[in-house]
Amino acid sequence: MPELVWRALLGRFVAIFAGLSLVWVLVAPLYASLLAGVAAVVAPTLGDSIDRGWQAEGTRIVVLRPAADPLGRGSMMVRQGLWDGRVTFTPALLAAALLATPGWSPGRRGRSLAIGLGALAFTQLTNLVVNALYTQSRPIVRDGVTLQPGGSFAAQAILNALSYFFDTMGPVFFTILIYSCLATSLWRAAPRTAAEPRHGAARARERSRR
């Protein structure tokens, strides 16, 4: 019997995830525009070294940086990619896991979705800022002309490690972490509320026996 229950839950999760993945494909460009807009507002408060030329190109977020033209024709713009919604389906994955989790009331499920997706969006904003700092720390040389001087070796090494983590393991790691925190907190609260009537009924029966 438990095996049949878990198969049903797994089937429910897969069906929800497949549907939300299609929705994500459609809304990813809009989400990228919103994320780029928030980054353009938040990033300058973290330091003057972070660029302000954020742009959304479909599902991609890029930054435009002024640089010297290697042909000596004044200045040019260097475009560097920072984030791409096409390579991450973690919003759909987290939402599907929360919707497929059994035993939650509609109110708790709605709160978990709002908190979970908000926390995931914060990690993606952090990823965006880290990638902006990392791409700015790398030197760019074309035809013997330095377009971007870059930062120190230590800064490049640290930012490279952080950027690699956020781009590869970070999306799944934060999705699992957020889901685990929400599931643990909500499942801990549920037994207490359900157990209170039983304890009260047990105490009433004990009094009647006396």
Paired tokens of 174: 């934060």
The per-residue pLDDT for 174 is: 97
The per-residue pLDDT for 27 is: 95
Q: Structural domain tally of the chain?
A: 1
Alpha-carbon Rg for the chain in angstroms: 24
3-state class of 148 per DSSP?
Answer: strand
> Strands (DSSP E) along 5-74, which ranges?
54-57, 60-68
Range of the domain at 35: 2-209
The per-residue pLDDT for 191 is: 47
Q: What is the pLDDT along the chain (210 residues), one digit of tens a residue?
A: 467 777 888 899 999 999 999 999 999 999 999 999 898 888 777 655 566 678 899 999 998 887 766 666 666 778 888 999 988 999 999 999 999 998 888 998 999 999 999 999 999 999 998 998 898 888 877 766 677 777 888 989 999 999 999 999 999 999 999 999 998 875 555 444 444 444 444 454 554 555
The per-residue pLDDT for 58 is: 92
Report the alpha-carbon distance of residue 19 to residue 29 in Å, rounded: 17
How many Å separate Cα 159 from the centre of its chain? 18
Predicted TM-score (pTM) of the model is 0.80
3-state class of 173 per DSSP?
Answer: helix
